[in-house]
């Protein structure tokens, strides 16, 4: 299963690695890629995938790489099972609520979302393990 993430300081990257580990623990396989190394079309043939990005701007996705990537994914997201995750700091997770809503409007089934305040810890890994079970 493909896990594509954007991360500025490594927090969401760590979550992507944790999710991959938990996907393996749940009996699946995971391929983790930083968003700039893949094309949105790499996800087009997948029925299930996970996307990660931290809160940037004012409760937005990173506008350089992640926002354009997600705009392309929205075009073929209908009917796909998608998991969303990412790290944030001072907000209340608004960026993730907006992102989840967008994916649903695009027709995706959002199987779950996990947000971590700054560096992910054990609680976040437990939440990512639950998310992994829904994906596998
Ligand atoms: C330019 C910038 C904008 C940010 N905007 C938000 C925000 O709107 N809401 C929030 O909760 N955190 C915001 N943050 C905090 C980051 O989301 C937080 O540091 C997160 O852990 C970064 O994860 P990453 O290392 O995966 O990028 C912002 C950080 C930066 C540098």
Give the CATH number, domain containing residue 112. 3.40.50.360
Q: Kindly report, residue by residue over 60-98, the tens digit of the pLDDT.
A: 999 999 999 999 999 999 999 999 999 999 999 999 999
Mapped to the 3 state alphabet, what secondary structure does 104-133 carry?
Answer: HHCCCEEEEEEEEECCCCHHHHHHHHHHHH
Q: Kindly report, residue by residue over 22-43, the tens digit of the pLDDT.
A: 999 999 999 999 999 999 999 9
Which atom of ligand 1 is found nearest the CA of 55? 17
How far does CA 27 lie from the centroid of its chain?
A: 19
- What pLDDT does 57 receive? 97
Mean pLDDT of all residues in 14-18: 98
Number of domains in the chain: 1
Half-sphere exposure of 125 (CA within 13 A, CB side): 10
Eight-state DSSP code of residue 52: E
Residues with CB under 6 Å of ligand 1 are 7-12, 54-59, 87-91, 118
- Measure the CA–CA gap between 62 and 56, rounded to whole angstroms: 5
Q: Encoding tokens for residue 37?
A: 């190394």
* Domain of residue 60, residue span: 2-135
């Amino acid at each position: 299963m493909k896990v594509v993430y954007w991360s500025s300081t490594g927090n969401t990257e760590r979550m992507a690695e944790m999710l991959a580990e938990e996907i393996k623990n749940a009996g699946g396989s995971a391929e983790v890629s930083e968003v700039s190394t893949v094309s949105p079309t790499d996800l087009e043939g997948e029925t299930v995938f996970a996307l990660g990005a931290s809160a940037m701007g004012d409760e937005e996705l990173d506008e350089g790489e992640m926002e354009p990537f997600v705009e392309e994914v929205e075009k073929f997201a209908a009917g796909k099972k998608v998991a969303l995750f990412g790290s944030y700091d001072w907000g209340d997770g608004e960026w993730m609520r907006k992102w989840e809503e967008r994916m649903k409007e695009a027709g995706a089934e959002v199987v779950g979302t996990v947000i971590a305040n700054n560096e992910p810890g054990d609680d976040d890994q437990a939440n990512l393990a639950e998310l992994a079970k829904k994906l596998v």
